[in-house]
């Protein structure tokens, strides 16, 4: 059984969508709506599984637009943040997806994975510090909606990445910034990810342990190739050892 050994790991950094919260499918559905509307009569529709995992998952919103359109041989003007949502620009499509995602979260709320919540409680009860990261600018709203803010010492999201000029995954900058704020060097920090760019970022960042979460049961080999030390279908499969329990919520 895969395990986090707190004798050598001081902190754990969690990705958000698909690891902590069940929002990856909301992102995928929003992308499909936006891309299919744009692609009508131009190219094959967006596949919520293959295209999402290959081109969008784990990337910033704008990088996701660029990567997916490139897969269809389409190049659009960049545009800017004041574009009309849905305009035929990189920013326009990104803004349309953003508006749809926000509406879905506002209307339906956010669910957390019970096994992840249980793992967070155990880590913190054993004295391990925790961080949550996301390329999304809505990370704080998502984590707050799920009622989990109190389980993280640090949160680094897309807004922070933009403010600091951090490159997106597979560059490890987002994870490294979270580790820095946790005062935990990468070689004493674990990363838990469900996207291939994030797994690669963990490997490139020199983290002590990179855990891939393959809920789709389709990416295990690719995650191992990208650098995952362990690949699980659910975090209930991940044990925690070490560290004397302390009183902490």
Active site residues: 15, 17
Return all residues near 21 (Cβ < 8 A) that are at least 6 apart: 110, 111, 112, 113, 142, 143, 146, 148
Whose structure tokens read 């983290």?
207
β strands within 114-229, DSSP E: 129-133, 154-156, 189-193, 209-213
Distance CA 161, CA 173 (A): 9
Residue 111's CB: how many other CB atoms inside 10 A?
12
Whose structure tokens read 């009309």?
84
Q: Helix (H, G, I), strand (E, B), or coil: what is residue 79?
A: coil
β strands within the chain, DSSP E: 3-5, 11-15, 129-133, 154-156, 189-193, 209-213, 230-232, 239-241
The reply to whether omega before 170 is within 30° of 0 (cis) is: yes
């Amino acid at each position: 059984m895969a395990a986090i050994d707190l004798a050598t790991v001081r902190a754990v950094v969690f990705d958000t969508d698909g690891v902590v919260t069940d929002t990856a499918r909301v992102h995928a559905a929003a992308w499909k709506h936006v891309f299919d509307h744009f692609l009508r009569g131009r190219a094959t529709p967006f596949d919520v599984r293959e295209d999402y995992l290959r081109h969008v998952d784990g990337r910033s919103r704008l990088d996701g637009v660029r990567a997916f359109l490139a897969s269809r041989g389409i190049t659009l003007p960049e545009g800017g943040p004041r574009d009309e949502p849905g305009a035929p620009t990189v920013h326009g499509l990104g803004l349309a997806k953003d508006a749809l995602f926000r509406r879905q979260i506002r209307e339906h709320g956010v669910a957390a994975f019970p096994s992840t919540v249980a793992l967070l409680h155990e880590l913190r009860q054993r004295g391990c510090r925790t961080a949550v990261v996301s390329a999304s600018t809505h990370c704080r709203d998502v984590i707050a909606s799920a009622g989990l803010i109190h389980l993280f010492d640090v949160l680094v999201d897309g807004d922070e990445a933009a403010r600091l000029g951090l490159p997106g995954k597979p560059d490890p900058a987002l994870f490294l910034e979270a580790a820095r704020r946790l005062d935990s060097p990468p070689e004493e920090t674990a990363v838990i990810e469900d996207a291939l760019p994030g797994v690669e970022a963990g490997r490139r960042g020199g983290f002590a342990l990179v855990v891939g979460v393959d809920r789709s049961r389709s990416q295990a080999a690719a995650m191992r190739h990208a650098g995952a030390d362990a690949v699980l279908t659910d975090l209930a499969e991940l044990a925690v050892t070490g560290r004397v329990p302390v009183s902490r919520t």
